[in-house]
Amino acid sequence: NEEKPALEIWKAALDNITPQVEVKSRRVGGATFQVPTEIRPERKESISMKNLILYARKRGGKTMADKLAAEIVDAYNNQGGSYKRKEDMHRMAEANRAFAHFRF
């Protein structure tokens, strides 16, 4: 069982929790639609890091370092709060795909 470099684990974990699409509210003729939109690369990165920190804070544990480490390992293994958040974002976008034509 070979140890992977920490940076590699960090990058893979971040990739696993980085959302590709998000939904934005848009009013069209009195009705508000959740319109799926693609996310710019910089925003993808900031969203994933914010989620990582948010869910690390919510964790039970001793120090923030321990909680963050545990969340990163979970993200690397495709589990944990921040991974679930990405999945939820994608699920919302998928459910509202019918309104994608409102993008402009």
pLDDT tens track of the chain, all 104 residues?
578 888 999 999 999 999 999 999 998 889 999 999 999 999 999 999 999 999 999 988 789 999 999 999 999 999 999 999 999 999 999 999 998 888 76
Gap between the Cα atoms of 54 and 59, Å rounded: 9
Task: Record the pTM.
Answer: 0.84
Distance of CA 74 to the CA centre of its chain: 13
Would you list the domain boundaries of the chain? 6-102
Q: Where are the beta strands (DSSP E) in 1-104?
A: 21-28, 31-38
The CATH number for 6-102, chosen from 2.40.33.10, 1.20.1250.20, 1.25.40.10, 1.10.455.10, is 1.10.455.10
Q: What is the rounded radius of gyration, in angstroms, for the C-alpha atoms of the chain?
A: 16
